[in-house]
Amino acid sequence: MLRKLLAAQQAGLLLVILLLAGALTFFAGSHVDPASGQTVNNFLNFHTLIQMATDASFFAIMAVGATIVIISGGIDLSVGSIYALAGVGMALLLRSLGPMGPAQTVFVGAGVCLGTGLVCGLLNGLMVVGLRVHPFIITLGTMWIVRGLAFVASSTESILVPGALTAVAKASLGFGPSLYPVPFLTTLLVTLVGALYLGRTVMGRHVFAVGGNAEASRFSGLRLPRILVGVFLISGMLAGLAAFLGASFYGSASCGDATGYELYVIASAVVGGASLSGGKGSAVSAMLGAFLIVLIRQSIRTLHLDQNYEWIVVGCAIIVAVTLDQSGTRWAGRRLARAARSGAAETGRP
């Protein structure tokens, strides 16, 4: 059992997270909680951990969708812009509709965000397949187009959302005041569904096959256009879900929301072990990658370092992760080549 755990794809990433968390716990210091009078570690306390999980949730959800796109051999740079447009569209529609019941408000808000994400994802997929242009170029263009639509629609205004949405996103679920586990629990659910989709369904195996070798997948009869459109649909839908949670949690939506999130999303996938050449990745690893990035950010805050170092550290983490991934791939290739030569020598074949 222990050997299987150590051999798991996420074992190394989880070990890094635990080591960093242990070091931060040691160096963070402590303070006296004014409510209970007890001495509390500045990092290892329930409030900080829930806050970190909440901070990571909004782009961890998108990272699961982006990882599925990356596994297929593509990339999606538009997720942050889809987040902004979905949030703005929801806030504008709910404001125009006026007061509604809490359940109806939540239903309409979620429907608008998910629908906006699906439409944007569908357009991305159709353009990638129909125009036969690399996804990097297509989603780079739609990133600006969709963000521009959010600017035009909102007139650069921050739009409040109904309190019924905030009540859902900030439900304490018995954890106590100022502790809001809903975004984190949603992230866990999305990660579980993503892991089951990739690992236990035929469609998930097709995504890996297309990313591993598109031409071989085409000759084996797989419908590449449908698969590629499907992965962008998933990515767009999860960006819409993240927008619903984010706008509800913070109580407003604006055209500037999630600016730069596409970098965090791709970083989470890459740090989690997804290969930009396709054919490799994991929903669980993407979530862990997101939490590692937030842990790095929290380390800088807790240790009272200059927050500008956050970009430097995250950039270094991406370079190291990609370098280690490529080194591991080359090492595995050399090992397979040696095994093939040894097998040929034993059988006497040239």
Please tell me what DSSP assigns to residue 73: T
pTM score above 0.85: yes
Tens-digit pLDDT profile for residues 291-315: 988 888 888 888 877 777 777 877 8
With bands split at pLDDT 50, 70 and 90, how would you rate the model's confidence at 190?
very high
DSSP string for 255-307: TTTTTTHHHHHHHHHHHTT--TTSS---HHHHHHHHHHHHHHHHHHHHTT--T
Integer Cα distance of 130 and 117 in angstroms = 20
Domains, in order of start, for the chain: 47-340 (1.10.3470)
Integer Cα distance of 308 and 124 in angstroms = 33
Cβ(207)–Cβ(228) under 8 Å? no
Integer Cα distance of 321 and 285 in angstroms = 12
Please tell me what DSSP assigns to residue 176: -
Percent of the chain residues topping a pLDDT of 90: 50
Q: What pLDDT, on a 0 to 100 scale, did the predictor assign at position 276?
A: 83
Identity of residue 200? R
Buried b (16+ CB within 10 A) or exposed e, 265-296: bbbbbbbbbbbbebbbbbbbbbbbbbbbbbbb
- Asked if the model's pLDDT at residue 86 lies above 90, the reply is yes
108 burial type by CB count under 10 A (0-12 exposed, 13-18 middle, 19+ buried): middle
Q: What pLDDT, on a 0 to 100 scale, did the predictor assign at position 336?
A: 63
Angle at Cα 284 formed by Cα 283 and Cα 289, nearest 5°? 95
Tens-digit pLDDT profile for residues 203-222: 999 999 999 888 888 888 89
- Asked if the model's pLDDT at residue 288 lies above 80, the reply is yes
Integer Cα distance of 112 and 166 in angstroms = 16
Tens-digit pLDDT profile for residues 228-269: 999 999 999 999 999 999 999 999 999 999 988 888 899 889
Least confident of 121-135, 175-189, 240-254: 175-189
Q: What pLDDT, on a 0 to 100 scale, did the predictor assign at position 6?
A: 42
Q: Who contacts 327 (Cβ-Cβ below 8 Å, separation ≥6)? A: none
Integer Cα distance of 185 and 219 in angstroms = 41
Measuring CA to CA, which residue among 50, 106, 58 is closest to residue 82?
58
With bands split at pLDDT 50, 70 and 90, how would you rate the model's confidence at 89?
very high
Measuring CA to CA, which residue among 47, 84, 93, 92 is closest to residue 62?
84
Write down how long the chain is.
Answer: 350
Least confident of 37-51, 221-235, 274-288: 37-51
Overall average pLDDT of the 1-6 stretch: 45
Q: What pLDDT, on a 0 to 100 scale, did the predictor assign at position 305?
A: 79
Identity of residue 107? F
Token pair of 339, please? 């095994």
List the alpha helices (DSSP H) in the chain: 2-7, 11-27, 46-71, 79-97, 102-131, 135-154, 163-169, 182-200, 202-212, 214-219, 224-250, 261-271, 283-302, 309-347
Least confident of 76-90, 109-123, 295-309, 320-334: 320-334
Q: What pLDDT, on a 0 to 100 scale, did the predictor assign at position 1?
A: 47
Integer Cα distance of 165 and 247 in angstroms = 8
